Amino acid sequence: MILILLILIPFLTGIISFTTKGDGAKSLGLLSSMLTLAVAAYVSGANFAAPITFTKPWIPILGTQFSLMADGMSSMLCLLTGIVSLVVMIMNVNKPVERAGAFYGFLLLSQAGLMGVFLASDALLFYVFWELALIPVYFLCSQWGGEKRIPVTFKFFIYTFVGSLMMLAGLIYLSLQTPGVTSYSWNDIVRAGTSLPADQQMWLFWLIFIAFAIKMPVFPFHTWQPDTYEQSPTPVTIILSALMVKMGLFAVLRWLIPVLPAGVAYWSETVVILSVVGIVYASCIAIVQTDIKRLIAYSSIAHMGLMCAAAFTNSAVGMHGIMVQMFNHGINITGMWVIVSMIEQRYGTRDMTKLGGMASAAPAMAIALVIISLANIALPLTNGFVGEFMLFNGIFRADTAGHILIMVVAGLGIILGAVYTLNMIQRTAYGDAGSAVVVKDLSVNEYLGLAIIISLILFLGVYPKPLLDLTAGVAGMMVR
Amino acid sequence: MKAIIATTVFGVIMMFAGLWVNDKKSIAGLATFLFAALLGVTIWDLTTTSVNSPKSLFNDMLRSEHYSLWFNTIMTGCSLLYVLLMGKEVQKVGKYVSEYFALIFFILCGLYLLSMYNNLLMMFIGIEILSIPQYILAGSDKRNLKSSEASLKYFLMGAFSTGILLMGITLLYGAARTFNITEMVTLMHSDALNPLALAGILFIMIAFSFKVSAAPMHMWTPDVYDGSPTVFTAFMATVVKSAAFFAFLRLFQVSFNSLSEHWVMVLAIITAATLLVGNVTAVFQQSVKRMLAYSSIAQAGFMLFAVLAVNAVAWQGIIIYAVAYSVATIGIFAVLVKLKDYTYDGFNGLAQREPLLAFVTTIFLFSLAGIPLTGGFMAKYYVLLAVVQQGQLMWLVIFALLMAAISVYYYFRVIIAMYFKAGTPEISSPVTGGDKFMLVVTCALVILLGVLPQLFLTKV
Amino acid sequence: MDARTIIFYLLAATVIGGGLMAVTSRKIFRSAVFLLFSLIGIAGFYFFLDQEFIAAVQVVVYVGGIVVLILFSIFLTHGSGEDMKKPALGRAVFSALAAAIGCVLTMYLISEHTFQGSGKPALEPSAGNIGAQMLSVTEYGFILPFEVVSMLLLAAMIGCIVIAIKVKVPEQKVMPKIKEETEPVELEVVEELKTEEV
């Protein structure tokens, strides 16, 4: 019962938000995300013996149920969604938004969709939420985004829609293979998938994986991402990069690796190579970017590439690392975007060559930037370190042929990450103040938002045990 | 059977109403009442027929199977919705309002025959009853040359396809020695590879492709749908097309099922061509009405999936597709008739001027594009399910999904125009509270179809 | 070669020759008349097969009804005496080809197929019998199609009236398109007046 609250609270408040006028929506959004976070924290904090489930009949003739399930991975991602949404709401408190009712309504709806994706344990329900999370984001970007928002968002939408449709075909196929009557429940889908002969699993793999690959995004499918991140308003960029890309990774872990083991085994090398190519490629491009937003967008591709590579290397510690890193990356990237939006708001530009001198003008902001950036490049004692260490460990222990080479190349990509991140810190925080704009330091709500992020970064960097414990059980199950 | 009698009687009543009632409004009101009564009669038919034993009528000319009656009821419901949404607009087309309604009643009679026929003779008559009133409705706006052109074009093409259909029926009769479609099964199976029967099937397939506007026999569709008065386009593109599909499915499912290996490939190619032509051409249209004409071709491609599948799910698929597609399309046309400018630019800024209209249009377009939780998704889901279950045509499924992604492009252009572009759309007739109420009801139906499709399905 | 064969070939020559002439003639009026010959030839075939009723129907409906209607409508449109445009060569060739292929296909299909009886008792094809069957509800009765067809005709009739009744302003209809585009307002007004008169 408690699980349905995670979806219902943002959904209902989202609907109500459309009808509000003026600032009512802001407080509603804040209230709603606090409530949701409280529920999510309860779900992930309380030590349940078995995963909690919630099942109600939905469309019996299709064999689909409204069934939710929260194991460690799900509740961890719900918690992340709760935290990130709250930070977004807090950061937005002092920002004027046109037609706030609709804006917050869409934000809350996308949150509901995300929660649904993370909780669904019925394939058709999963598909429905997968699409529902996308549509509010489409409207948010198209309405409140940058100059080129309409074509860019359109491209993004069509990309992801193609992927989802392919996935739908794959899921239908799988559901027809279930023993007895057609069923979409996770257990039956897994049973159907694993019992398929290897050659069928091989083509089914791509049918399903393509949706996830576009969402993550894995290397050749990433072209929608930098443009979309750049054109979206910051709250949406945060939702996209901190949460929606995790949908892709989560889906791989929940709906692909357990379902089609033979297909995954056959293609994992290809995917790992693509991911590593993506890491190096994205890092190289990030180095030459001068727009901070694009820089972070490419860095995000690199980080997701590393996680994706680890997901396909089939080692317990690697799987565990992904879980941890999904959470940490979500926190860190949120922090990055928050800082970027503050820079843009104060200086009126995102061009690094025109920025500088933040350390003297706004010391608190500069400190926050440094901490979050260092976490993003995984310095020890920050949360990023724990996750990435486990990921590399996982790739190193993999039983595939060229795993050492892959690890070295991926590591190179991450070192490149340090290069461009430090470069960015240097250009923005230090150096001459490029413009004469008087820059205000943090306001109260910004202090609050950044405090949440930074305290999480430091806490989980020093004492990651709660996060590790939460996801330990699930990680073990993922290994073939 | 009661419904057939009722619709005939109602048609005649409408005809005489034109003589005695001079007020257009009361004629439309009478028509609405009669449609509601007709819906009642179809429900009566449905409830008085047992689910498992179809009743054979008039020497097996008709067979009132449960799913046929179900289809009748649902399509009558769609017609009622159509009249409620657009009754006012019908009055504006021309002077002969009561005759238009009478013709729509006759079309419904054709629909009932087509859903229940068990004899090729009845099928033929049903198709003709369905078609002839349409030729007239297409040309009813006589002030507009395009309307006359549409009527003539439709008539000529329709007559041509009727010729082909008759040829097919003749060849089939020669091979099977009966017009009865259930008896035909056994007779055809005994000499399965009979060239005469195969040619007959091919001819009938071509004729039906004409009627449901499948490529490459779709050429008439854009001109006819574009030229006809918008209110009647809405009816032709939805209820009538669904009826033709149901007849198509019925014949191929009941009679030619056992021969499916011989014709499935041909139909698969027709389906692929239809999807390709419909979707790709729709992308390049500048007028929303014309885009909807091409989109109806594209949607026909999806409905053909049901015919291809030759299994029990196909019946569910065609019923739910018909109702989902009809409701959403009728809804969009109901919005379209309110606008003066049918181009995409005519929709610019609609969200500011009429937020409710823009919202319901968005939902209808979502449905047509097949976004989850709308009827269109469940419809696409069912037809895909039917074909995936059939198992042979996975390539076509993937091709169709790519085409569905293309369809998002042109459907979303309307949404982009409404929400993200500035402009002041010209409204041709005021949107009253009643209109809004009906549109919201339609919108709720679309969502209900997507959330609880089982309410609209019956046992097959 | 007996008399039957000679009659058969004569009839066939009438049908085919009439058909060919109807298609190739450049005067539309002549085409219609040649069509008449072709249809009469077909009626002859029915007589030849001892199907008097259907032969009579053929004469009454096609020869007496449809062709006469066609002739009327040709007279009503102007330009009935002029030569029609010569069709483009390509189009003519393809039409001929299509017709030839259709002909060959049909002949092949019919020659390949061994027709069998339906096994049902034959009925004397007298007009009385046919009429009785048409209105009968017993086995092989065709009452339902018979009645439904009457509805089809009713619908068609309404259609004819709706389409035809307002054409009191043929001058407007015949006018070329340009007229409507250049003076839409005026046209509108004229139309309004006309409808009020009706």
- Domain stops at, among A259, A291, A321: A259
| Chains with at least 3 CB pairs less than 8 angstroms from chain A | B
CB contact under 8 A, B405 and A165: yes
Where are the domain boundaries for CATH 1.20.120.1200 in chain C?
1-84
Kindly give, in sequence order, each residue whose CB lies less than 8 Å from that of residue B170, ignoring residues fewer than 6 positions away.
Answer: B200
Residue A418, CA distances (Å) to A24, A174, A369, B374 in order: 42, 43, 14, 47
Compute the half-sphere exposure of residue A73: CA atoms within 13 Å on the CB side of its CA: 27
Among candidate residues A180, A178, A238, A173, the one with its CA nearest the CA of residue A208: A173
Pure H helices in chain C: 3-24, 28-48, 52-57, 67-76, 89-112, 127-134, 143-165, 170-174, 177-182, 184-197
Statement: residue C42 has pLDDT above 90: yes
For B373, which of A61, A128, A168 is closest by C-beta distance?
A: A128
Confidence tier at B411 by pLDDT (50, 70, 90): very high
Distance from CA of C118 to the nearest CA of B (A): 5
Compute the half-sphere exposure of residue B134: CA atoms within 13 Å on the CB side of its CA: 35
CB of B89 closer than 8 Å to CB of B231: yes
Which residues face A68 on adjacent strands?
A54, A120
Compute the half-sphere exposure of residue A194: CA atoms within 13 Å on the CB side of its CA: 11
Mutate to test the interface with A, among B275, B398, B418 (most CBs of A within 10 A): B398
pLDDT at res. B343: 87
CB contact under 8 A, C144 and B132: no
Residues 74-113 of B with CB under 8 A from C: 94-96, 99-100, 102-103, 106, 109, 113
What does the pLDDT average to over A79-88? 92
Residues 108-147 of C with CB under 8 A from B: 108-110, 112-113, 115-119, 137-145
Mean pLDDT lowest for which of A330-334, B124-128, B153-157, C128-132? Answer: C128-132
**Rg of chain C over all Cα atoms, to the nearest angstrom:** 24
Separation of alpha carbons B321 and A165, rounded Å: 17
Compute the half-sphere exposure of residue A364: CA atoms within 13 Å on the CB side of its CA: 14
For C143, which of B8, B58, B125 is closest by C-beta distance?
A: B58
Residue A403 structural domain: 267-480
The residue written with tokens 């259609």 in the block is C159
% of chain A residues with pLDDT over 70:
97
- Closest chain C CA to residue B141: C163
Separation of alpha carbons A431 and A52, rounded Å: 53
Kindly give, in sequence order, each residue whose CB lies less than 8 Å from that of residue A132, ignoring residues fewer than 6 positions away.
Answer: A109, A112, A113, A116, B372, B373
CA A452 to chain centre: 18
Residues 39-78 of C with CB under 8 A from B: none
% of chain B residues with pLDDT over 70:
98
Q: What is the pLDDT of residues A7-49, one digit of tens each?
A: 999 999 999 988 887 778 888 888 999 999 999 888 887 766 6
Query: Which has more pLDDT, B51 or A36?
Result: A36
pLDDT at res. C177: 45
Angle, helices A2-19 vs A100-119, to 10°: value is 160
- Shared domain check, A227 and A289: no
Distance from CA of A208 to the nearest CA of B (A): 12
- Closest chain B CA to residue C165: B96
A206 touches chain B (CB under 8 A): no
pLDDT at res. B374: 92
CA B292 to chain centre: 13
B403 touches chain A (CB under 8 A): no
B409 touches chain C (CB under 8 A): no
What does the pLDDT average to over A193-221? 89
CB contact under 8 A, B372 and A207: no
For B454, which of A61, A149, A172 is closest by C-beta distance?
A: A61
Residues 169-188 of A with CB under 8 A from B: 169, 172-173, 176
Separation of alpha carbons B63 and C138, rounded Å: 16
- Domain stops at, among A259, A281, A298: A259
CB contact under 8 A, B196 and C188: no
Q: What is the pLDDT of residues B259-302, one digit of tens each?
A: 888 888 999 999 999 999 999 999 999 999 999 999 999 999 99
Chain B residues lying within 8 Å of A200, measured CB to CB: none
How many domains, in total, are found in chain A? 2
pLDDT at res. B122: 92
Q: What is the pLDDT of residues C76-98, one digit of tens each?
A: 876 667 777 888 888 889 989 99
Statement: residue A185 has pLDDT above 90: no
CB contact under 8 A, C137 and B58: yes
For the record, the structure tokens of A229 come out as: 């991140």
For A161, which of B384, B408, B419 is closest by C-beta distance?
A: B408
The CATH number of C1-84 is 1.20.120.1200
Domain positions in chain B are 2-456
Separation of alpha carbons B70 and B457, rounded Å: 8
Chain C residues lying within 8 Å of B158, measured CB to CB: none
pLDDT at res. A434: 59
CB of B215 closer than 8 Å to CB of B270: yes
C164 touches chain B (CB under 8 A): no
C156 touches chain B (CB under 8 A): yes
Q: What is the pLDDT of residues C162-192, one digit of tens each?
A: 887 755 444 444 444 444 444 344 444 344 4
Q: What is the pLDDT of residues B213-224, one digit of tens each?
A: 998 888 899 999
- Closest chain C CA to residue B97: C162
Q: What is the pLDDT of residues B183-205, one digit of tens each?
A: 888 776 655 567 888 888 999 99
B399 touches chain A (CB under 8 A): no
Which residues face A64 on adjacent strands?
A59
Longest dimension (CA), chain A: 72
Among candidate residues B404, C111, B380, the one with its CA nearest the CA of residue A124: B380
Q: Under DSSP, is residue A224 helix (H, G, I), strand (E, B) or coil? A: coil
What does the pLDDT average to over A114-124? 91
Which residues face B64 on adjacent strands?
B55
pLDDT at res. C74: 84
For B372, which of A127, A154, A176 is closest by C-beta distance?
A: A127
| Chains with at least 3 CB pairs less than 8 angstroms from chain B | A, C
What does the pLDDT average to over B169-192? 80
| Chains with at least 3 CB pairs less than 8 angstroms from chain C | B
B397 touches chain A (CB under 8 A): yes
CB contact under 8 A, A131 and B371: yes
- Closest chain B CA to residue A99: B352
C83 touches chain B (CB under 8 A): no
The yes-or-no reply on C/A contact (3 CB pairs or more, < 8 Å) is: no
CB contact under 8 A, B58 and C149: no
CB contact under 8 A, B145 and C155: no
Instruction: Report how many Cβ contacts below 8 Å link chain A to chain B.
Output: 65
- Domain stops at, among A207, A227, A259: A259
CB contact under 8 A, B143 and C188: yes
Burial letters B232-250, b for 16+ CB under 10 A, else e: bbbbbbbbbbbbbbbbbbb
- Closest chain A CA to residue B369: A161
pLDDT at res. C179: 40
B9 touches chain C (CB under 8 A): no
CB of C141 closer than 8 Å to CB of B59: yes
Q: What is the pLDDT of residues A301-358, one digit of tens each?
A: 888 888 888 888 878 888 888 888 999 999 999 999 998 888 888 888 888 887 877 7
Q: What is the pLDDT of residues A343-354, one digit of tens each?
A: 888 888 888 887
Kindly give, in sequence order, each residue whose CB lies less than 8 Å from that of residue A428, ignoring residues fewer than 6 positions away.
Answer: A292, A343, A352, A355, A356, A358, A369
Statement: residue C195 has pLDDT above 50: no
Query: Which has more pLDDT, A120 or A402?
Result: A120
CB contact under 8 A, C195 and B175: no
CB contact under 8 A, A165 and B401: yes
pLDDT at res. B459: 66
